[in-house]
Amino acid sequence: MQQNLIIKENIPLRGLNTFHIDATARYFIEVNNYEQLTELIESGFVDKNPVLLLGGGSNLLFTNNFKGIVVQIRNKGIEIFENAGNTVWVKAAAGENWHEFVTYCVEKGFGGIENLSLIPGNVGSCPIQNIGAYGVEVKDSFYSLEAVDLKTGELKIFYHSDCNFGYRESIFKSELKGKFAIWSVTFQLNLNPVVHVEYGAIKQELEAKGIENPSIKDVSEAVCSIRRSKLPDPEILGNAGSFFKNPTVDAKVAEKLRDSFPKLVSYPLPDGNEKLAAGWLIDQCGWKGFREGDAGVHQNQALVLVNHGNATGSQILTLAHRVQNSVYERFGVKLEMEVNVI
């Protein structure tokens, strides 16, 4: 059978990860349709080798050559699934680019994901860490997803309650990590959207433009403009966005920290805990703009580790550990990595 399978060997991955880390994949395959994926599973290749599913490579750090098979999911297609009242269900293939999908929805007037504009990566990855920005998370518009079981090739549907969404978390980043290839995601969007402009920076951006009643397009443009001013463009400077999660601490711990550090940046959570700004903690430890060789901490946003050119994944990881240690020594707070270390 296997006429559909083109498994390449020793493929460079530098152009396929936004950190621009030099690493190779022992085996590599691009999957464009379901038949190819099931054929790959039936061939036994994914049973015999470690598998890495790859989208846009914007949340990965390669610390070694990958000794198994990298499977890049590249299926395409957007379908308006159903329309009832003010709600529209839109299904997008995993291989669609996330920002292009957001733009498609914004142009059509489908509201719900406009605050997530310009996040790199693909649709298939968006539920994995429940991407979030500017007061919105993908779980807020998520309806369901289809995923292929890498053992059996069967397509399974996961609804919202199956996904265990949390802050930068889902079942696909924990129990089911690497077990399913997400194949499509269906979103429940709104034809009469309520815009979310509570986030200070969005408000300021809209005010500066004199926009009083923003449309979802205005919000999307404001978010793009804020992101371009704050975050390094991976095309120019290798990075994977925030390297660490913002840590959650008990309100009493936050209170105690505020006694010693009155300028502590924190946000109250509905459960009474507080989320601390990891960027502020790292910044206070003096890391902003730090560089050793080509591994560094971004000069404007201390939560973003960067590759100035030829850093290895191990050098970035060593720097990440040093940052974690210094934040722990100074504040007693443990920083958890957001990026997937491979």
Indicate which of ligand EPU, ligand FAD, none lies near residue 21 (CB less than 5 to 8 Å, by partner kind).
none
Q: Which of 125, 141, 168, 274 is catalytic?
A: 168
239 binds ligand FAD (CB under 6 A): yes
Span interacting with ligand FAD, options 105-113, 121-129, 199-207, 271-279, rule CB under 6 A:
121-129
Exactly one of 5, 224, 265, 333 binds ligand EPU (CB under 6 A); that residue is 265
Interface with ligand EPU, residue 7, by CB under 6 A: no
Closest CA to 141 of 200, 177, 84, 90: 90
| Strand order through the sheet with 291-292 | 238-242, 304-307, 295-297, 291-292
Can residue 49 be called a binding residue for ligand FAD (CB under 6 A)?
no
C-beta closer to ligand FAD: residue 59 or 144: 59
* Site track 122-151 with ligand EPU (rule: CB under 6 A), x = hit: -----------xx-----------------
Q: Is 29 helix (H, G, I), strand (E, B) or coil?
A: strand
Minimum CB distance to ligand EPU smaller for 112 or for 241: 241
C-beta of residue 91 within 8 angstroms of C-beta of residue 78: yes
Structural contact between residues 120 and 102, judged by C-beta atoms closer than 8 angstroms: no
Active site residue 330: no
Q: Using CB under 6 A, which of 37, 41, 93, 128 touches ligand FAD?
A: 128
Pick from 240, 339, 237: which is nearest to 294 by CA? 237
Contact status: 129 vs ligand FAD (CB under 6 A): yes
Under the binding rule (CB under 6 A), the answer on residue 222 touching ligand FAD is: no
Structural contact between residues 145 and 184, judged by C-beta atoms closer than 8 angstroms = yes
What is the contact mask toward ligand FAD in residues 253 to 292, using x (rule: CB under 6 A)?
A: ----------------------------------------
| Identified binder of ligand EPU from the candidate list 98, 180, 280, 331, rule CB under 6 A | 280
User: Quick one: tokens of 206?
Assistant: 């809209």
Other CB atoms within a 10 A radius of the CB of residue 73 amount to 22
Shortest approach of ligand FAD to residue 252 CB, angstroms? 28
Question: Which of these, 55, 61, 52, 25, lies nearest to 307 by C-alpha position?
Answer: 61
Question: Out of 39, 96, 114, 338, which one is annotated catalytic?
Answer: 338
Residue 118 or residue 265: which is nearer to ligand FAD going by CB? 118
126, 150, 306, 320: which one contacts ligand FAD (CB under 6 A)?
126
| Distance of alpha carbon 31 from alpha carbon 51, whole angstroms | 13
CA-to-CA distance for 13 and 11, rounded, in angstroms?
A: 6
* C-beta of 99 vs 257, nearer to ligand FAD: 99
The CA–CA distances, whole Å, from 27 to 11, 23, 38, 59, 66 equal: 7, 12, 17, 20, 8
Tell whether residue 277 is a contact of ligand EPU (CB under 6 A).
Answer: yes
CA distance 63 to 316: 8
Task: Return d(Cα 103, Cα 67) in angstroms, integer.
Answer: 37
Residues 114 and 98: their CA atoms lie apart, in Å, by: 11
Q: Is 74 among the catalytic positions?
A: no
**Smallest separation, CB 244 to ligand EPU (Å):** 6
Is 242 labeled as catalytic in the residue annotation?
Answer: yes
The nearer residue to ligand FAD, 139 or 193, going by C-beta atoms, is 139
Q: Across the strands, what pairs with 147?
A: 156, 182
CA 26/CA 111 separation, integer angstroms: 42
Q: Which residues are catalytic?
A: 168, 242, 338
Write out the residues near ligand EPU by the rule CB under 6 A.
Answer: 133-134, 230, 241-242, 245-246, 265, 277, 279-280, 283, 288, 301-303, 338
